[in-house]
Structure 1
Amino acid sequence: MMFQGEVLSIGALLERAQTASAVVPGVGVGVRHTATDNAARCAALLAAGDTVETGWRFGILQTLDDYTSTLRRGGTALASKVFAGEPAPTGSQQLDAAFAALADHLAERDDWQVPAWALDPARRTIEWFPAVPAIFHAEAEQDSPRAFRQRGIFITGRSLDRA
């Protein structure tokens, strides 16, 4: 219990967050944002001239944040619905593969069934290192989770870390 005026260190705050229950189901909780929504936003960004790296940040990482938020609010069954609908093509083979990789990775991590669309062999790319500087490519090749690596996407162990 924290008392008024008590200040916790960053380490203590992190420890408290890690030991707190990740799932707090609520009444009337639903999915607010989906991979389908975020893929459509990526397509619009790319059509407006933005880069695939921008699509990674505003599509893939945003979908990860949406999933994590939904997981905390409503549990695994609800969070898996973030990936229920098949995202339309974004205009980028890399991003289309990344949406599938993220769905596969989270399904494996949190023990829910990978959606059929994420297993489509067309959702692959050739050696992409999203937001990974060249100096870290060897690390990304070694650390990339299976779901990403199998689709030609190489990320470091920190690439999916979120605040």
Structure 2
Amino acid sequence: MKHVYVALGSNIEPRFEHLNRAIDMLKEHAKITVVKNSSIYETAPVGYIEQADFLNMVVQLETSLSPIELLDFCQSIEHELGRKREIRFGPRTIDLDIIIYNQKNSKTERLTIPHPRMHERAFVLIPLAEIEPHLYIANWNKSVTDLMKELSTEDMKDVTKWSQDGLGKE
């Protein structure tokens, strides 16, 4: 079984339900086991900022699927949950990004592992650090915690733990 980390994000209501449904769909696949979930974080949009805040989290998986098979399945979840790719970094019902796949380094036309921008994104590193702070990322020769230390205060302030009781931020 391969150890995989997938980042999930949603900023089209119902955001919380989209995250939960995506996790349920991952759990339903015979070749995927969801090992751990991070907390959910509310985050300001990055890139295209004229949109609602996101709910983000990271899940740890074990799978026998290849990276491309997992990518295809993640994209089928996005499709089923109504994701439309109209604006780069734009609003989305759900986004599933493979950020780490068994410490593999690879780059194809469809998939780069580890995710090429994960080290710049507080909304990925903070939930990843919650579930695996000492995970070593060979591509940058650093742990997740070390990568987090390189983020700016500005980047970090836009990521806050979200209350799962539906009342918003903690």
**TM-score if structure 1 supplies the norm length?**
0.30
| Higher RCO structure (Cα 8 Å, ≥6 apart) | 2
Structure (1 or 2) with the larger CA radius of gyration = 1
Which is strand-richer, 1 or 2?
Answer: 2
Which is helix-richer, 1 or 2?
Answer: 1
**TM-score if structure 2 supplies the norm length?**
0.29
